[in-house]
Chain A
Amino acid sequence: MRITENLKFQMLMNTLSLAQKNYGSLAEKMASQKNINRPSDDPIGATRVLNYRSVRESIAQYQRNIENANAWMEITETKLESVQELIAEAKEAGLNDQSSDTQQVLAQTVGSIIEELQSLANSKFGDRYLFSGTATDTEPFSRMILPVSASANTFDGSLYTGGTYTGASDKTFTVRVVNGGAPGAATYQVSEDGGTTWLPDPAGTVPVDGTITLGDGLTLTFVDDGSNPLTAGDVFTVNAYESGTATAPRVDDPQSAANNAFAGTVALDAASGAYAGETNRTFVVKFVNGGGAVGDADYQISADGGQTWSATDAAPWGTTITVDSTPGHEIVLEFTPSGPGDNFAENDLFYVRVQASWNYNGNGEDLSVHVGKGNTATYNVSGEEAFTDRGRGGVDLFAALETLKTALENGDRDLVNEQVNRLTVVQDHIREQIASVGARMSGLNITKENYQVLDEKMSGLISDTEEVDLEAIIVEFQMKETALQASYAMAVEIGKKSILDFLT
């Protein structure tokens, strides 16, 4: 082989640049402590690392979700346990067979228990109400203005109060039936002073719709749905509280979504009745097919807050749309445009919240979070489930307590005993809830521990894939350094010697 000058230097250059390249890449690995500094260093490894990192991010999120859910459930558990204690106290008050003087004191005790329970049921986690289902911005419970039927009464229909109490202080209304009969025939009188004076005098007739006026804005409605009608001598007590709310089913004023094109007003049509359903609901009207004018635009109706929709109704509709067509209890919205040309646009929304006949303002929906891929966990107990008779409980806690209080005030022993029994049912039910919360928490804790193990594994996999074995790399680095030094030494030596040194 003929070795030329260029060849000699080229070979040297190649050796040097190879040594430099190896040296440089090792130096990079040492500095970054990573084997993979760019995808091409190990394309498959780089792809895996990205996946592992995403899995770790997911795990972190699931763990955070579980922690949040557990924190929520721990508070729920504590609150429910306090509720149990208070119910036990209320029961004790009911079982305390004392003179009528003591009973007034006991009634007051029950009153303060109700207030405490109410603030427990309105507890928040952060700024979200624990017990209002998914309506976490809505305070779930307000004090009931509950009509109580004396245990000796013959009437066995249902009752509820309506209107808004305008009185300046708490007050007790007593209603007695003077002449029995169906609404339209029976007569009644009301006393606001514990039975001293009775008005109207002579007794008034219960109107056909069963609703009589108590005073201070309140009404009382008799619903003759039992077997026995109003009977002379029947007595009803209504404790009205300043901050209390009537128990009649309510239909809120309809609302228009902020973004609607329609600038006119929406209101309940006079044809609307009370809500007759069993659960709190939000009815929604949505305009579709590009909207259109009042009376003409196509629309859909949802009875579950907008999750599922009826078929599109394209028939002309005048000015009103019926969202709930329960006979006798229709809920009808009336639309009034602000002027000519005030039309609906696609997706204009109008909704009306309705409340069944009790004092719960939340809903029965579940709050849930992701605790795994495609795996959600419910972490709340709705107030409906825990404290009302709409869930599986069967007894409304606050109605039982309000009745107990009134019964104690009225010295109605039978009614008191009945309420004590109902409270026992509530206790059992809440105990179940506590157990269910505890079971869910321990389930989530196991999941969380599994995630910890998985996370460690993932982080191990990541470091196996992309992190360097420092000792090995230091040894290798020293080897390459030696090679580089040798190359330099050789380069200098080779340049030095030539035939010219020997020519004289």
Chain B
Amino acid sequence: MAGISSIFNIAKEALWVNQTGINVTGSNVANVNTPGYSRQRAIIGTRSQFDVPENMVLTGTEVINIERLYDKFLEFQMVEQSDQLGYSNERKDALDRIEAIFNESNGGGINELLDQFWKAWEDLAANPSGQTERTALAYASQNLAGMFREYAGELYSLQQELNTGISQTVTQLNGYLADIADLNYKVIYGEAGQNNINDILDKRSDLLKKVSDLVDINYVETSEGAVNVFLSNGIPLVEVMRSRDLAVQTNAQGLYDIVMADDPTKNVTSAITGGRLGGMLEMRDTTITGYLGDLDDLVENIISEVNAQHALGYDGYGNVGGNFFEPFNALMGARDMQVDASIIADPNRIAASLTVNDDGENALAIGSLKDALIMGGTATFGDYYAVLTGSIGQAVAEAERSLSHETSVMTQLESQHEQVSGVSIDEEMMNLIKFQLGYNAAAKMVSVAEEMYVELLNMIER
């Protein structure tokens, strides 16, 4: 038969268990607003009292485990979604800035200056010897060239900015990878040492999402509890307790390639297609390069067409027309569109006439280029530019749609995650009441047992 002491024992266990329950509730309440925190739960089980005969009912209690409520599959999805979201975010940011460069909703951009440029030629055609018309044309041309330089220059500096961003992101990524390797170490030794590692696991989950926000990765959890992280092409970034750094290396275009720090010949740029890095790389190497190429194309054609027609004419002094624009600079492209210095210095050098007699016919011919289907043989300069603007708008709208889609998927996943892992004050309060009740009851048992002892001792004294 179990003695009164075993009542104490059970009450002690009950006190302990309920106190732990309140402690866990306390942790949960304390971390109600902590990002990445997974709520915990004390798993309570029975404990047989082995020194008790079989026919006696005497079951104790114990906290088997402090469980972290958490869905591994959901985590996997969220990590994956992070790279989509990071990628979409980066695209949207960059495209917004590109759109701001090309925004002509209020006029004043290339489209308007292009129109003014052609109008200035028409005006000159009507009065070929007019100084006002010549000067106006020289200014209109400089404004146009200046605007092309500005647009292309802004695109170029955005590209450079993204390039710098790529290098900074790689540094940030290396930090996260090292942290994951470190946490892996703590998980392995913590689990072996039976310490509570829930907060470490939370931190590691959070880091995985952060890494995935930067770059598209795959990861697997090993049997010992470590996570191994790989690039999409299978190159390992974290292997158990060791992380491999990425590094940047300047390529032939003067932009950064991403390579393995311990093996700079291993170029992994093309393997990165997601996350912020993937977004930056795509913007830098495809989108901006494409738009710059389109501007270059437009500028090259304007320069060559105008110059070709200009050379067929004669200036105010009877000279053969020289260059109107400086010849297209293949290296700098639209960033270096310039009106020829001789035209700026003396607008009489504009070759407005098809004969040496100031007839204005060449200005008319250049003015006609406005309507000529030069770009690809199917579009005028104005059409080409309008289509470029439209396609940028299209890309921004598409990026916005995909960002809002990715965001809502992420929100959905996060709310699912919240449902599993989030802290509910209502629930915690109920638990608090529950454990408090249990604790009070256990305490009552102690005082009953104590009374029983006192009663027993009194019996002896009497």
Contacts and interface: CB of A to CB of B under 8 A. Distances in A.
B424 A137 contact: no
A136 B358 contact: yes
Interface in A275-289: 282, 284, 286
Interface stretch (B280-288, B292-300, B360-368): B360-368
A53 B393 contact: no
Contact of A4 (B111, B130, B419): B419
B291 to A, nearest CB: 12
A363 B411 CA distance: 79
Contacts of B111: 50, 53-54
Nearest to A35: B105
A376 B425 contact: no
A187 to B, nearest CB: 44
Interface string A271-305: 00000000000101010000000000000000011
Contact of B318 (A2, A36, A61, A349): A349
A341 interface: no
A105 to B, nearest CB: 42
B415 A7 contact: yes
A51 B104 CA distance: 12
Interface stretch (A321-329, A403-411, A496-504): A496-504
Contacts of B130: 127
A118 B116 CA distance: 40
B334 interface: no
A310 interface: no
Interface string B403-441: 000000001001100111011111101100100000000
A375 B37 CA distance: 74
B256 interface: no
B317 A257 contact: yes
Interface stretch (B192-200, B215-223, B381-389): B381-389
Given A53-B112, A134-B357, A370 B103 contact: no
B418 A41 contact: no
A51 B111 CA distance: 9
A492 interface: no
Interface string B111-140: 110111011001101111110000000000
Nearest to A287: B320
Determine chain A's interface SS by DSSP, over half rule.
mixed
B290 to A, nearest CB: 16
Contact of B390 (A10, A37, A47, A466): A47
A214 B319 CA distance: 41
Nearest to A305: B355
B389 A5 contact: no
Interface residues of B, number: 76
B354 A307 contact: yes
Contacts of B102: 39
B368 A370 contact: yes
A40 interface: yes
Contact of B320 (A46, A58, A347): A347
Interface string B321-343: 01000000000000000000000
Interface string A462-504: 0000100000000000000000000000000000001110010
B48 interface: no
Given A1-B419, A128-B127, A134-B358, A257 B383 contact: no
Contacts of A14: 411
Contact of B122 (A51, A65, A260, A351): A65
B145 interface: no
Interface of A: 1-7, 10-11, 14, 32, 34, 36-44, 46-47, 50-51, 53-54, 57-58, 61, 64-65, 68, 126-128, 134-137, 255, 257-260, 282, 284, 286, 304-307, 347, 349, 351, 363, 365, 367-370, 373-374, 376, 466, 498-500, 503
10 contacts: A38-B396, A39-B392, A50-B385, A61-B118, A127-B130, A286-B320, A306-B354, A347-B319, A351-B318, A499-B426
Given A38-B396, A305-B357, 7 more contacts: A4-B424, A11-B415, A39-B390, A50-B389, A54-B386, A259-B317, A368-B361
